[in-house]
DNA sequence: GTCACTGCAAAAGATTTGCACACTT
DNA sequence: AAGTGTGCAAATCTTTTGCAGTGAC
């Protein structure tokens, strides 16, 4: 997270912007959280540390972090964006339950390769690519109660 | 589209709801459109045919259609949902340009297989699954100006 | 002094909801 | 009559923006 902060500071510097206390608190809070987090929750956490940080600044800083490519924000279908930082996290993909909305991260080498192939095939640069699969998780399934591979890591 | 309308009517019937003129117009318009479409655009199209259909009804009907699984709505990062109908469309995936936001549909057999594997592996039912890849499209790339596979269907 | 940064409150944009009236059965 | 459906306008929710004051260089 030290690295992320430094990169952020560098990014700001490059753009002639400053690392302010507010921006630092927001970035620190974000980089210390290893889950998906939404702006509102982040806001609460940040304001728990320093009451004088406004919602507007949180949103503004989130934009900067996304722009700096240190953060990735996406709406997984809940009606608001969820953010996660990129560095220090192995690239992973998302499996989202259509019923309960739960977001499961997973890694799969074949997918990595395939994504690259597809991007190449269409002439796309792989910048910030990601993969999202929607399905119904074992807990929410009412049909065949999962084949057997499910029981192991099924939360 | 006849089939879709019938299924929708059946769905409504099952839930003790009615197929009203408004719902029919909305569904017809939707099923006749083979692109992604957002609520606002749909609204305009529908109101072009029948001025007395309100925005509220469009949204309410969209919810019903999604609930009936005839329609799929997702936010591809533009801040509003885009809808597409499911039946009669070969399953395809989405490649979204991080810069211009353009949504490109593509089909890839390996992906189909892999998605299934991943779903199985985690015990997820494949209901309404889909795959979304983010990258920078040939038109927006400023680095290597695309290998060559891009020029054909670009734009 | 100049220019970036902030909080506040208002605004914006997409979607939902309360309500009274209309239509179906 | 009972219950669903609708339009309208107001409300909601997330995110953005205008503005006036604050602070760094």
Measured between beta carbons, the chain A residues lying within 8 angstroms of B136 are 124-125, 127
Per the structure block, which two tokens stand in for B44? 């305009």
Contact B150, A123 (CB under 8 A): yes
CATH class of A1-89: mainly alpha
CA A27 to chain B, closest CA, distance in angstroms equals 22
Q: Which nucleotide has its C1' atom closest to residue A62's CA?
A: D15
Tell me the pLDDT band of B37, cut-offs 50, 70 and 90: very high
**What would the pLDDT profile of B56-81 be if each residue is shown by its tens digit?**
999 999 999 999 989 989 888 889 99
B103 touches chain A (CB under 8 A): no
Residues whose CB is less than 8 angstroms from the CB of residue B134 and which lie 6 or more positions away in sequence, other chains included: A127, A128, A129, A130, B77, B95, B96, B97, B98
C-alpha dihedral (A28, A30, A35, A38), degrees to nearest 10: 160
The CA–C1' separation of B25 and D4, in angstroms, is 18
The pLDDT of A75-95, averaged and rounded, is 84
Per the structure block, which two tokens stand in for B5? 């309308």
Question: Which DSSP string do the residues of A33-51 spell out, in sequence order?
Answer: --S-EEHHHHHHHHHHH-T
Q: What is the reported pTM?
A: 0.79
**What would the pLDDT profile of A130-140 be if each residue is shown by its tens digit?**
778 888 888 88
Cβ contact B134–A129 (<8 Å): yes
- Give the start-end residues of each E strand in B101-154: 103-106, 132-135
Residues whose CB is less than 8 angstroms from the CB of residue B59 and which lie 6 or more positions away in sequence, other chains included: B39
The pLDDT of A53-79, averaged and rounded, is 92
Specify the higher pLDDT residue, B75 or A154.
B75
The CA–C1' separation of B31 and D2, in angstroms, is 33
**What would the pLDDT profile of A9-33 be if each residue is shown by its tens digit?**
999 999 999 999 999 999 999 999 8
Percent residues over pLDDT 70 in chain B = 88
Q: Which of B122, B138, B140, B151 to mutate to test the interface with A (most CBs of A within 10 A)?
A: B122
Q: What is the pLDDT of residue A144?
A: 53
Question: Which DSSP string do the residues of A79-132 spell out, in sequence order?
Answer: SS-EEEE-TTS---EEEEETTT--EEEE--HHHHHHHHHHHHHTT-B-TT---E
Measured between beta carbons, the chain A residues lying within 8 angstroms of B125 are 135-136, 141, 143-144
Helix axes B39-49, B21-32, angle to 10 degrees: 120
Asked whether residue A55's C-beta has any atom of DNA/RNA strand C within 7 A, the reply is yes
Tell me the pLDDT band of A149, cut-offs 50, 70 and 90: very low
Report the 3 state secondary structure along B3-54: HHHHHHHHHHHHCCCCCCHHHHHHHHHHHHCCCCEEHHHHHHHHHHHCCCCC
**What would the pLDDT profile of B91-124 be if each residue is shown by its tens digit?**
788 888 877 777 888 888 888 888 888 889 999 8
Q: Would strands B93-97 and B82-85 be described as parallel, antiparallel, or unpaired?
A: unpaired
3-state secondary structure of B106: strand
Q: Is it true that domain B91-155 has CATH number 3.40.50.1820?
A: no
A125 touches chain B (CB under 8 A): yes
Q: What is the pLDDT of residue B143?
A: 66
Asked whether residue B144's C-beta has any atom of DNA/RNA strand D within 7 A, the reply is no
Instruction: Parse chain A into domains and list their residue ranges.
Output: 1-89, 91-155
Contact B143, A125 (CB under 8 A): yes
């Amino acid at each position: 997270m030290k690295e992320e902060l430094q990169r952020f500071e560098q990014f700001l510097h490059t753009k002639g912007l400053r690392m302010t206390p507010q921006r630092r608190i927001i970035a620190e809070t974000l980089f210390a959280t290893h889950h998906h987090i939404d702006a509102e929750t982040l806001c609460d956490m940040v304001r728990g540390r320093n009451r004088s940080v406004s919602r507007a600044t949180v949103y503004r800083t989130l934009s900067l972090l996304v722009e700096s490519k240190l953060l990735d924000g996406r709406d997984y279908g809940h009606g608001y964006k969820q953010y996660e930082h990129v560095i220090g996290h192995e690239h992973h993909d998302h499996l989202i339950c259509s019923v309960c909305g739960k977001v499961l991260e997973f890694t799969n080498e074949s997918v990595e390769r395939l994504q690259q192939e597809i991007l190449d095939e269409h002439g796309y640069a792989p910048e910030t690519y990601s993969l999202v699969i929607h399905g119904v998780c074992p807990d929410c399934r009412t049909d065949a109660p999962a084949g057997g591979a499910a029981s192991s890591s099924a939360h």
